[in-house]
């Protein structure tokens, strides 16, 4: 089959690889029809991880069931399904509690929790930027889509990651109706966090970035854009909130945070969030901070040890929630919001490309070229 393979830093190629196939009786084989490029793919693409060349990337997948293993009972060939980027077993302690991003059985290393497709450090599972994807524990991981699956495919594919991830960030921040919210990062994830806050009834949502195209997109859904190339973002948030700071905050950048001049400081957004959120406010963090042993060897090396101002955080009595999104915990409800016309996350898509053009999609998205907000590939 054709697939997008990681061959090294900034080297991804569409090539022939062995076909994905059923390996376990609980597996489902999905013919992929839509698969997104994610900001998380860029950690691998930019060489910030220790991913070995040869991995098929792609963890934001949707398609049609092609074949099912003997033990699969819930889905059948022909069903249209969306796949959470995390692979859960459904029966470990964490999966039972809805914490599927921290599944205790799927990752082959018993010291690890959580598994995902096409991801450094998250197990050997190939991704779906390919013609076919093997889905372990298919009954648990396949989200069946309703009769409008084809018409709304661009919306439903966002259920694989960024819509639930943005939503998760607002839940980590314990956002309540009427709260004000500030989101750092207007990439796809930050835009989905701001959108989720709007849907859940935030009184005022602000988003910080410096890319005019991304800020304009946010403005179109009623979010207040804050351009940090035009002045201190903290001051701008305080001005918007009567000097107190926002009730809640979302971190949607991660360890690749930098200033508008390109100077990297992995702690920048966390420290700015502490300053931008009021005393006793809550902060959700979905931007990725990789542990040290997952970093690449080159000059882009970053780790989880950041210069975070714990003193100020403590003094303000704030709370923080972190981690990968438990996509499975949210995606049925979010699917139903889409089905009922109450959510339409496809508004962030800028480009739809055939899989054969994936390399150029990666280049443009990685460069944050003007207008390249979210790329969907069609194998
Ligand atoms: P992205 O790289 O497209 O977006 C990041 C945005 O942050 C960019 O627009 C960039 O200009 C902006 N930015 C950089 N420094 C900034 C700063 N100091 N202040 C404000 N904005 C700044 O990526 P994305 O797809 O939106 O993903 C964002 C993060 O979320 C990544 O770290 C990604 O790996 C992570 N992620 C986490 C999960 C999860 O489950 N927790 C899921 C998906 C993605
Ligand atoms: Zn993703």
**Do 335 and 256 reside in the same domain of the chain?**
no
Q: Which atom of ligand 1 is nearest to the CA of 285?
A: 41
> Using an 8 Å Cβ cutoff, are 238 and 244 in contact?
yes
Asked if residue 373 and residue 265 are part of one domain, the reply reads no
Q: Residues 207-229: pLDDT tens digits?
A: 999 999 999 999 999 999 999 99
Minimum-distance ligand 1 atom for the alpha carbon of 265: 18
Which of 37-51, 179-193, 332-346 comes out lowest in average pLDDT? 37-51
215, 230 Cβ separation under 8 angstroms: no
Q: Does residue 369 surpass a pLDDT of 70? A: yes
Instruction: Output the CA 226–ligand 2 centroid distance in Å.
Output: 24
At 38-65, the pLDDT tens digits run 999 999 999 888 899 999 999 999 999 9
Average pLDDT over residues 66-85: 98
Report CA(236)–ligand 2 centroid distance (Å). Answer: 29
In this structure, the answer to whether residues 61 and 100 fall within a common structural domain is: yes
> Residue 152 pairs with which residues in a beta bridge?
none
Is the minimum distance from the CB of 58 to ligand 1 under 6 angstroms? Answer: no
Q: Enter the DSSP assignment of 86.
A: B
**Cβ of 120 less than 6 Å from ligand 1:** no
How does strand 80-83 pair with strand 143-144?
antiparallel
- End residue of a domain, out of 277, 293, 322: 322
User: Closest ligand 1 atom to the C-alpha of 39?
Assistant: 25
Question: Which residue carries 């949707």 as its tokens?
Answer: 62
Q: Which of 108-117, 289-298, 337-346 has the lowest mean pLDDT?
A: 289-298
What count of other Cβ atoms lies within 10 Å of the Cβ of residue 297? 8
With a 6 Å cutoff on the Cβ, whether 284 touches ligand 1 is no
Does residue 194 have its Cβ closer than 6 Å to ligand 1? Answer: no
Asked if residue 325 has its Cβ within 6 Å of ligand 1, the reply is: yes
Indicate the residue among 277, 292, 322 that finishes a domain: 322
For ligand 1, is residue 49 a contact (CB within 6 Å)? no
At 120 the pLDDT is 93
Q: How far is CA 282 from CA 99, 116, 149, 175, 318, in A?
A: 20, 28, 36, 8, 6
* Alpha carbon distance 127, 85 (integer Å): 9
Segment among 7-11, 107-111, 296-300, 345-349 with least mean pLDDT: 296-300
Percent of the chain with pLDDT over 70: 97
Mean of per-residue pLDDT scores for the chain: 95
Given this model, what pLDDT does residue 295 score?
A: 57
Backbone Cα Rg of the chain: 20
Beta carbon of 118 within 6 Å of any ligand 1 atom: no
The residues placing their C-beta within 5 Å of ligand 2, an ion, are 38, 40, 60, 161
The confidence score (pLDDT) of residue 291 equals 72
Find the range with the poorest average confidence among 17-21, 43-47, 80-84, 305-309: 305-309
Q: Are 181 and 310 members of one domain?
A: yes
Ligand 1 pocket test: pick from 99, 189, 192, 302 the residue with the most ligand atoms within 8 Å of its Cβ: 189
161 lines ligand 1 (CB under 6 A): yes
- Do 225 and 146 belong together in one domain? no
Q: Which ligand has the minimum distance to the alpha carbon of residue 39?
A: 1
| CATH number reported for the structural domain that contains residue 78 in this entry | 3.90.180.10
Residue 124 sits in the same domain as residue 21: yes
Query: Nearest 5°: phi and psi at 309?
Result: -80, 80
Q: What is the pLDDT of residue 306?
A: 85
Segment holding 362, helix H or strand E:
helix 358-366
Tokens of 110: 């018993």
Residue-range definition of the domain harbouring residue 316 = 164-322
**What's the gap between Cα 199 and its chain centre?**
18
Q: Is any atom of ligand 1 closer than 6 Å to the C-beta of 190?
A: yes
pLDDT at 300 over 50: no
Per residue in 230-275, pLDDT (tens digit) is 999 999 999 999 999 999 999 999 988 999 999 989 899 999 999 9
Residue 112 has pLDDT above 70, yes or no: yes
Both 269 and 195 in a single domain?
yes
Give the helix ranges, DSSP H, for 161-304.
162-172, 188-199, 212-220, 233-240, 268-276
φ, ψ (nearest 5 deg) of residue 144: -75, 140
On the question of pLDDT at 298 being above 60, the answer is no
Mutation pick for ligand 1 pocket among 287, 328, 370 (CB with most ligand atoms within 8 Å): 287
Determine whether the shortest distance from the Cβ of 268 to ligand 1 is under 6 A.
Answer: yes
Question: Residue 253 Cα, ligand 1 centroid: separation in angstroms?
Answer: 3
Q: What is the pLDDT of residue 305?
A: 78
Mean pLDDT for 21-25 is 98
Is there a single domain that holds both residue 264 and residue 226?
yes
Confidence at 312, pLDDT banded by 50, 70, 90: very high
- What pLDDT, on the 0 to 100 scale, is given for residue 292? 64
Total tally of structural domains belonging to the chain = 2
> Mean pLDDT, to the nearest integer, of 303-318?
91
Is the pLDDT confidence value at 188 over 80?
yes
Q: Domain check: are 372 and 305 in the same one?
A: no
Dist. CA 33–CA 79, nearest whole Å: 12
The pLDDT tens digits for 273-297 are 999 999 999 999 999 987 766 655 4
Q: Report how far residue 16's alpha carbon sits from residue 81's, in angstroms, rounded to the nearest whole number.
A: 25
* Residue 18, number of CB atoms within 10 A of its CB: 8
pLDDT surpassing 80 at residue 304: no
CA distances from 88 to 93, 116, 135 (A): 11, 9, 10
Under 8 Å between Cβ of 57 and 127: yes
Question: Residues 310-338: what's their mean pLDDT?
Answer: 98
Ligand 1 contact via 51 beta carbon (within 6 Å)? no
299 pLDDT tier (thresholds 50, 70, 90): very low
What is the per-residue DSSP string for 246-259? EEEEEE-S-TT-B-
Domain shared by 314 and 277, yes or no: yes
For every residue of 6-74, DSSP letters joined together read EEETTEEEEEE-PPP---STT-EEEEEEEEEE-HHHHHHHTT-B-PPTTPBP--EEEEEEEEE-TT--S
CB of 227 closer than 6 A to ligand 1? Answer: no
pLDDT at position 351 is: 98
Say how many Å lie between the CA of residue 252 and the centre of ligand 1.
Answer: 5
Residue 167: name the closest of 185, 194, 193 by CA: 193
Query: Which helix (H) or strand (E) element contains residue 310?
Result: helix 310-315
| Cα-to-chain-centroid distance, residue 167 | 10
**Residue 142: is its pLDDT beyond 80?**
yes
CA distance 104 to 86: 12
Q: Are residues 61 and 180 in the same domain?
A: no
On the question of pLDDT at 5 being above 90, the answer is yes
Of the residues 322, 346, 362, the one at which a domain ends: 322
Q: Verify that 273 and 348 share a domain, yes or no.
A: no
ipTM of the complex: 0.99
């Amino acid at each position: 089959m054709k697939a997008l393979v990681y061959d090294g830093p900034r080297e991804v190629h569409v090539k022939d690889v062995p076909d994905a196939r059923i390996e376990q009786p609980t597996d489902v084989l999905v013919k992929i029809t839509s698969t997104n490029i994610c900001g998380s793919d860029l950690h691998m693409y930019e060489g910030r991880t220790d991913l070995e060349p040869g991995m098929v990337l792609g963890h934001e997948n949707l398609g049609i069931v092609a074949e099912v293993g003997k033990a699969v009972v819930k889905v059948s060939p022909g069903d249209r399904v969306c796949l959470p980027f995390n692979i859960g077993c459904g029966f470990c302690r964490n999966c039972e509690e809805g914490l599927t991003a921290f599944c205790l059985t799927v990752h082959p290393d018993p010291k690890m929790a959580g598994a995902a497709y096409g991801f450094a450090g998250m197990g050997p599972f190939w991704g779906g930027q390919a013609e076919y994807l093997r889905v372990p524990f298919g009954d648990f991981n396949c989200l069946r889509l309703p009769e409008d699956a084809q018409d709304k495919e661009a919306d439903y594919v966002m259920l694989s990651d960024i819509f639930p991830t943005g939503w998760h960030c607002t839940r980590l921040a314990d956002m309540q109706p009427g709260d004000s919210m500030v989101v750092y990062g207007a990439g796809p994830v930050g835009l989905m966090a701001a959108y989720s806050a709007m849907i859940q009834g935030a009184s005022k949502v602000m988003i910080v970035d410096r890319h005019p195209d991304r800020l304009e997109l946010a403005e179109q859904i009623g979010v207040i854009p804050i351009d940090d190339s035009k002045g201190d973002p903290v001051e701008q948030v305080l001005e918007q909130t009567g000097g107190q700071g926002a009730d809640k905050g979302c971190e949607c950048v991660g360890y690749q945070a930098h200033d508008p001049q390109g100077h990297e400081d992995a702690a920048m957004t966390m420290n700015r969030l502490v300053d931008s959120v009021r005393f006793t406010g809550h902060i959700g963090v979905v931007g990725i901070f990789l542990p040290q042993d997952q970093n690449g060897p080159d000059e882009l090396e970053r780790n989880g040890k950041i210069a975070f101002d714990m003193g100020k955080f403590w003094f303000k009595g704030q709370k923080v929630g972190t981690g990968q999104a438990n996509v499975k915990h949210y995606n049925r409800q979010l699917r139903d919001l889409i089905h009922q016309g109450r959510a339409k996350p496809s508004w962030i898509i800028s480009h739809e490309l055939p899989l054969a053009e994936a390399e150029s999609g990666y280049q443009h998205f990685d460069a944050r070229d003007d207008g390249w907000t979210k790329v969907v590939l069609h194998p």
